[in-house]
Amino acid sequence: MVHLLLIAIKYSLVSNVVLSQFLGICAFLGVSKKVDSSKGMGAAVIFVICLASFVTHLIYIAFLSATSPLCKALGLKDGLEYLNTIVFILVIAALVQFVEMFMKKNMKGLYDALGVYLPLITTNCAVLGVALNNVSYGYNMAECIVYGLGISIGFALALILMATIREDIIEGNDKIPHSFQGSPIVLITASLMAIAFFGFSGLI
């Protein structure tokens, strides 16, 4: 139990997916203009990454791993691990589409809040990175889910913090030197956030 808790803390704060591993930068910079949209995107990413971690791990164990029943039946000693990336991309895209259709039909209120952000998750490299890291780290099912939860919470936290700061920046934009306005000040802010999160490294 302590081991799982340490994984969650490590990957939500110490090894933050955006600020330490530099995955999901596009969504981080593109959707962090408003707090409300950041909250919606963060919630959608948490749900999809946790679900993708579970499903991709099952597929890897059952079909792609050298010790999987399929590879044993086919006599493939090295397994089908070279297909990990393409298979995981297809699985993530299918999951996002399924979640979007399910919400649209059965959870209209939640779909209206998150639906606009769900398609963006398919192209978020953080989701694919989690699935591939689960394999490379040799995590079991419980560790995969906790790892995915920690990564996604870290992503949502960084996204919401950036959106909060950017809203203040927009209000005081006239106080920022002209050459730093726009993208430069956003990148500087992200750099300072990365340095701040580096302070959590003493926890693990």
- The torsion of the CA quartet 49, 52, 58, 63, rounded to 10 degrees, works out to -130
- The torsion of the CA quartet 197, 199, 202, 204, rounded to 10 degrees, works out to 0
Please state the rounded mean pLDDT for residues 87-107.
86
Q: How confident is the model at residue 23 (pLDDT cuts 50, 70, 90)?
A: confident
Q: Cα 29 to the chain's mean position, in Å?
A: 14
Q: What is the pLDDT of residues 53-85, one digit of tens each?
A: 999 999 999 999 988 888 888 888 888 988 999
- For 83, 135, 172, 173, the CA distances from 160, given in Å and listed in that order, are 35, 29, 19, 19
Q: Which of 130, 121, 135, 129 is nearest to 148 (CA)?
A: 130
* pLDDT in the model for residue 115: 66
